[in-house]
Amino acid sequence: MEGKKLEIGSELRPTEGYEHLDIIAYPHVEIVADARDIPVADETYIEVYSHWVLEHFAKNDIIPLLKEWRRILVKGGKIRAVTNNQESINQSVASGEITWMEWSYLTFGNDTKTLEGSHKVGFSQKSIKEYFLDAGLTDIVVEATWGCRGKEGELGCPALIVEATK
């Protein structure tokens, strides 16, 4: 399928081949707006992509947010999203793989401007799929990464990678 693609929340790491939407007017951002109210026409994009964005919204905002993203997709368009795997983070602290402070950082995040927690919701494979279903999306595939330590022992956030179709 050919057409325009939108990346939501690219911050300072824009993905090539996408238009970019962010709440902050970074130099590469074409659309400065809240991801819950995107100022474009229905069925504008073939793909919406977000990387570490969903966890920054309150639980009650997730379904309306996904419905807004669905609105701007053409029929057969895809949403691709990467977000936190809270189930893995919880298992990692329970097993002693990470400390309580590391768990807190991965769970609540850290807003670098306010130094306050910025994550508002955590997801499991089951819960993320339910949110996407409740937003009217289909063909939902959820891939999970597990563990909070990289090969060199560095801290990393395990992810849920979701793809769904309008």
Helix (H, G, I), strand (E, B) or coil at 79: strand
Looking at the domain covering 5-84+119-147+159-165, what would its CATH class be? alpha beta
127 exposure class (CB count in 10 Å sphere: 0-12, 13-18, 19+): middle
Asked if 32 and 9 touch (Cβ cutoff 8 Å), the reply is no
pLDDT digits (tens, 9 = 90+) for 91-124: 999 999 999 989 988 999 875 555 456 899 999 9
List, in sequence order, every beta strand (DSSP E) within 99-137.
none
pLDDT digits (tens, 9 = 90+) for 41-80: 999 999 999 999 999 999 999 999 999 999 999 999 999 9
Query: Rounded to whole angstroms, how far apart are CA atoms 4 and 18?
Result: 7
pLDDT value for 112: 52
Alpha carbon separation from 10 to 19, 109, 140, 160 (Å, rounded) = 10, 17, 23, 18
Quick one: average pLDDT of 140-146? 97
pLDDT value for 62: 98
pLDDT digits (tens, 9 = 90+) for 6-53: 999 988 899 999 999 999 999 999 999 999 999 999 999 999 999 999
pLDDT value for 109: 84
pLDDT value for 118: 86
Query: Rounded to whole angstroms, how far apart are CA atoms 46 and 61?
Result: 23
- On average, the pLDDT of the chain sits at 94
Band (pLDDT 50/70/90 cuts) for residue 133 is very high
pLDDT value for 116: 59
pLDDT value for 1: 78
* Closest residue by Cα to residue 55 from 4, 110, 94: 110
Query: Rounded to whole angstroms, how far apart are CA atoms 7 and 59?
Result: 21
Alpha carbon separation from 96 to 75, 122, 144 (Å, rounded) = 46, 20, 20
pLDDT value for 114: 53
